[in-house]
Amino acid sequence: MVVIDAFCGAGGTSEALRQIGLESLGIDLWEVACQSHLANGHKTLHADVAEVDWLVYQSCNVELLWGSPPCQPFSASGNHDGHLDPRDGLPAFLLAINALRPPLVIMENVKGLTFEKHAWYLGRYLDVLDALNYTVEWRVLNAANYGVPQTRERLFVVARNDGKAIRWPEHTHTELGGGLFDLPRWITMADALGWDEHGRVGFPRKADDKGWATEDGYRERDFFPTAGPAPMVTGKARSWIYERPATTISGDPRVYPPGHKASEKYPGIARSGTEAVRVTAREAAILQGFPPDY
């Protein structure tokens, strides 16, 4: 099967495809991502997807076109500029689809593309696929339900023009485990990284109500027990939990010990004799589903 992975990044999709026996060509504009992609043995084209001459690939009979356009235009933590954001990659991806007409197309993006502000734009994308004679379905899937130690929710749009049915994967894990099919529980951060499963952690703010504050003046509600579900983490987030799956990783992936917050003025200089736990690049990769040696 000939596969193209557009907006391939460091190679998450390319690696998954390889694990099921498929080789892909990854295309990305970010040079550092391409270096990682290539270093792990994936075919790599350092190029802007919007400027690729797709006519060159028409004779290759591409059977699967995967696209993960930049999510920043639609991310809940971004500026919400959507189609007005110059990083919007959906038009470029549609040009690739129109030129190649592969039997199978899969697009992945943030759940924010389904929110009210951007839903009309997603609808336009679906309409174009319909006009190109594709059968289309979309769902928002939680990575934790498929064995990834992270509660990352992503939109998947699947389109086929080969007459075959679209089949969605069954859950392999559940939040609590058990259930009708006796599935194992979500894989936690503690499971994946060997961290302590006990206690509580958080990104706390100074208390606005002393009656609901910790002894050192931080908001009690910003701490979560390790047995609780992980909230979504963005650049403004205040909570991240060891025992549950990781939340979406932000650019500030610190995890604080119970009841303390590292000084913002002096990062790494801890309050009350403790230090912030910073997720390393390798740990973040493992939480994203990459092999430990990637």
C-alpha–C-alpha distance, residues 183 and 209, integer Å: 42
Measured distance CA(127)–CA(90) in Å, rounded: 13
Distance CA 244, CA 185 (A): 10
Are 77 and 234 in contact by the 8 Å Cβ rule? The answer is yes
d(CA 74, CA 109): 8
Structure tokens at 140: 């928002």
Catalytic residue among 8, 34, 60, 71: 71
34 is catalytic: no
CB of 17 closer than 8 Å to CB of 45: no
| Closest CA relative to residue 9, chosen from 39, 41, 48, 36 | 36
For residue 94, what are its two tokens?
């549609």
Alpha-carbon distance of 16 to 21, in angstroms, equals 9
Contact 223, 179 (CB under 8 A): no
Q: Name, in order, each residue with C-beta under 8 angstroms of 56's C-beta and a sequence gap of 6 or more.
A: none
Report the SS3 class of residue 194: coil
Burial call 125-151: b when 16+ CB within 10 Å, e when fewer: bbebbeeeebebebeebbbbbeebbbb
> Could you give the residue numbers annotated as active site?
71
